[in-house]
Amino acid sequence: MNISILKKAKNIIQERGRDSVEKYTYEMSKITSNSKYIAADSAVRSNTLAISKALSKSEDTRTLEAENAKLITKLAEVKLSLGVPANCYSCVACEDKGTLANGTNCACLTKVYYELSRQISGIAELPQFTFENNSISNIECVQKESLGMLYNSMQNYSEKFPNTSVKNILLTGQVGVGKSCLLSATANDLILRGFSVQYLTAFSLNNLFLKYHTSDAKIRHQYLDSLLTCDLLIIDDLGTEPILKNITLEYLHCVLDERVRKHTMISTNLSINEILIRYRERIASRLTNKYTKIIQLNGTDLRIKK
Ligand SMILES: [Zn+2]
């Protein structure tokens, strides 16, 4: 897990906890003179006191404790009926600490970490597909079978990541055949596994190249750093960006070159031949080398079907 994202996630959980205590305290202040609440609360207090007395005399407290459990439930019901939550925690499992008693991360922290990672990765821009719940398989289309096989193959890639036999995936096919859904499912799965993912369209990538090119040398590293260091870089819709002279081809080659030992996924509507013509030999060979799996996805436009 990324330390700085984890820290942010913990801060969010703790902030949530403070809000929860504040809300609880405020709601409690409104019911302290309510007769139903007073009666239920007094019953718990008297019973608790009786248990203490019995314990001090070494008497059997089993009946009193059974009664106590019922009274506590009753008190929670009364509070709930008066609009007050049963306790002051947003997450009872970790009491808003983010970690459980055994030191492991609570599910609430993992969920926030995952959402933050999705936002930072840029993948939140895409519909949220997952391998487990890929709604795309329910759509009747000619590529249903090949899409299903591709989901399995990408799930396999994700499970073995980063020790995969191929490093890069080049996904080609017409608009709307399901390429972005596959990218989304793979990215979501890898983020859940704690890997850093950066998703961006070729158009946005081109804009970053332009910013980098025109910025002061002292600050421009910020535009490309995360693209060069992330575990998986996803470039969607390669070929839809304008070719900027001295920028697009030069920086794209630079990024691919820097990431030669890392994983990259690219989707494009272009054929291999069109890639060669548009991006020239140097880049085309990077995109189609022996470390790359080229996947051709054909079929009908799913966006129309939906
Ligand atoms: Zn929790």
Query: Whole domain around residue 77: which residue ranges?
Result: 3-107
pLDDT at 139 over 70: no
Give the bridge partners for 266, in sequence order.
170, 235
110 alpha carbon – ligand 1 mean position (Å): 9
- Residue 183: CATH number of its domain: 3.40.50.300
Domain edge (last residue) among 107, 141, 156: 107
253 alpha carbon – ligand 1 mean position (Å): 44
In a domain, 290, yes or no: yes
Domain edge (last residue) among 107, 139, 159: 107
Measured in residues, the chain has a length of 306
261 alpha carbon – ligand 1 mean position (Å): 37
Same domain as 148, residue 85? no
Same domain as 13, residue 148? no
pLDDT at 28 over 50: yes
Amino acid at 140: E
Same domain as 135, residue 91? no
pLDDT at 130 over 60: yes
120 and 5 Cβ atoms separated by less than 8 Å:
yes
Same domain as 300, residue 180? yes
In Å, what is the CA distance from 301 to each residue of 172, 174, 176, 178, 183? 14, 8, 4, 8, 16
pLDDT digits 0-9 by tens, 35-52: 999 999 999 999 999 999
pLDDT at 157 over 80: yes
259 alpha carbon – ligand 1 mean position (Å): 37
pLDDT digits 0-9 by tens, 177-230: 678 888 888 999 998 888 989 999 999 999 999 999 999 988 888 888 889 999
91 alpha carbon – ligand 1 mean position (Å): 5
| Region 246-261 average pLDDT | 94
Tokens 């019953």 appear where?
43
The predicted pLDDT at position 306 comes to 42
Q: Which of 138, 122, 147, 273 is nearest to 198 (CA)?
A: 122
Domain edge (last residue) among 73, 107, 141: 107
| Region 86-115 average pLDDT | 93
